[in-house]
Structure 1
């Protein structure tokens, strides 16, 4: 997608991979091992195509194992025991500004662990901004993936609040990338 978009805004475990790749301590957060070559290629392709990759500048981390409480930290201040579970308020503001200046938005997957209220503000906040701009006719919003549908519901919204909603997460991304589809 870095050849087709102006901004690639990352949250969740994918953002953790990019933060770790950039030598940011991600504590005990989930990420994939062995993807540095892939991440390097993505960054290189983004740079060649003037695509800005946006990773969190601040995050919400779990304070306890039941995920009932969060603490906001700048990414450079993440502790070894922290588990990143959402974007922080400054990152939400940055993403909101990017969306407000955009004409089209492609979204696949939630930004944080929205199933826990302490870590829902990023996903729900962005959902509401996207919905509002879509209703005002300022944004064409294309949402994909089953988890995104759950996030839409958690935000008190419906698929009617967006231009287009697809339930096929992986297939949705394959289609956007121009991959051959079955059938």
Structure 2
């Protein structure tokens, strides 16, 4: 079946200058990359293009500079990018348009790779300014977008450029789009979604979309407290958006109308404060003491979630079940993550997860590599879950 968007398979890249939009917005401390995941995931696209004889030019933003901020230069990423490419040399241009960029590109041989300076040093990038997009397009003959994590932004390098040059999705973008389509657009049913996090108010669009797409929706984290409160459950001193109660009842009604079963905690791990080593207790969800906070779901809830996963064919996960950063309130998230990984390996569960906290929680559980697909795309992954179209993806669709 033909992909709904163009891929590297559709491009003849030999001898061509290929502009690759990447996301090298990686965490750094003291000038060193502290998590190279995004760089490592980008490498296969760059290696394939280089091995097919392209002159590969990497475009990326970094941080939120207001003008040309030397502290946000991409120069320190040349060495980590080269390392991820197996030691291949990477050139660097001190600007992403104009003569400095053209001079570095002109020196590339087929198979050569260069990185251009931070796109956001130019205000035209975030404004999707046509003149800036044309200045980028003037540097190459083909465009590849491999930055799904920036695809929710209609910027010059993510959306504008795709209309000016023959364009395609890179392998990372392709894998992400295919995984997400498999999870929600054409999933094997039953579909279970797990949504955690602290506030219902920040995930309203997500919840409203998911109740129309999935068969069972598990809600954990502090946002579950708000739904429980809306049902009349006393959640003690727990974090709770009491002013969202009516909205929660509307979500429940929408779920019922769509035939989606909502699964809320039946027990909880409570404590007087969120701190390592604090005294905890496990209580039924309607027995939370008035001076205690719900900080994780309990073992009965974990068993109920895992029972749902055992029947599921597809899992979509965004957000931890408890305050996982502070043990022992990571226990439920770790237990469910490991069961999801086991079912993925042994029962063919299609498991797709994403979002910053989710990725960190899965890594802490040691299962980040054992689910079907774990997205590092952050905001783009969340907007996709909310049912929004992503400008960077739409621009690549076959017409």
Q: State the shift of 1:66 in Å.
A: 2.6
CA deviations 1:3-48 (Å, max 9, x no partner) are: 1111110110110110111111111111224222321221111001
The answer as to whether partners of 1:61 and 1:82 remain within 8 angstroms in 2 is yes
Query: Match for 1:162 among 371, 384, 387?
Result: 371
Query: For this pair of structures, how many residues does the alignment match?
Result: 182
Shifted more, 44-53 versus 59-68: the winner is 59-68
Q: State the shift of 1:104 in Å.
A: 0.2
Q: State the shift of 1:137 in Å.
A: 4.1
Q: State the shift of 1:180 in Å.
A: 2.7
Query: Match for 2:252 among 43, 63, 70?
Result: 43
Distance in structure 2 (CA, Å) of the matches to 1:55 and 1:171:
26
Distance in structure 1 (CA, Å) of the matches to 2:254 and 2:300:
27
Match of 1:25 in 2: 234
Distance in structure 1 (CA, Å) of the matches to 2:297 and 2:382:
22
Distance in structure 2 (CA, Å) of the matches to 1:32 and 1:135:
38
Distance in structure 2 (CA, Å) of the matches to 1:62 and 1:11:
17
The answer as to whether partners of 2:218 and 2:263 remain within 8 angstroms in 1 is yes
CA deviations 1:35-86 (Å, max 9, x no partner) are: 2232122111100111111000000001455342321000111111110010
Shifted more, 118-127 versus 149-158: the winner is 149-158
- Superposed CA RMSD in Å reads 1.5
Structure 1 position 135 matched with structure 2 position 345: yes
Query: Match for 1:106 among 291, 316, 320?
Result: 316
State the secondary structure of the residue aligned to 2:270: strand
Shifted more, 50-59 versus 110-119: the winner is 110-119
The answer as to whether partners of 2:273 and 2:292 remain within 8 angstroms in 1 is no
Match of 2:48 in 1: none
State the secondary structure of the residue aligned to 2:296: strand
The answer as to whether partners of 2:274 and 2:326 remain within 8 angstroms in 1 is no
Distance in structure 2 (CA, Å) of the matches to 1:180 and 1:138:
29
Q: Which runs of 5+ in 2 are unaligned?
A: 1-209, 393-399
Distance in structure 1 (CA, Å) of the matches to 2:292 and 2:317:
27
Distance in structure 2 (CA, Å) of the matches to 1:55 and 1:85:
14
Distance in structure 1 (CA, Å) of the matches to 2:245 and 2:234:
15
Structure 1 position 57 matched with structure 2 position 266: yes
Distance in structure 1 (CA, Å) of the matches to 2:346 and 2:376:
24
State the secondary structure of the residue aligned to 2:286: helix
Structure 1 position 121 matched with structure 2 position 121: no
Distance in structure 2 (CA, Å) of the matches to 1:171 and 1:164:
15
Q: State the shift of 1:168 in Å.
A: 3.3
Query: Which structure has the larger Rg?
Result: 2
Match of 1:153 in 2: 363
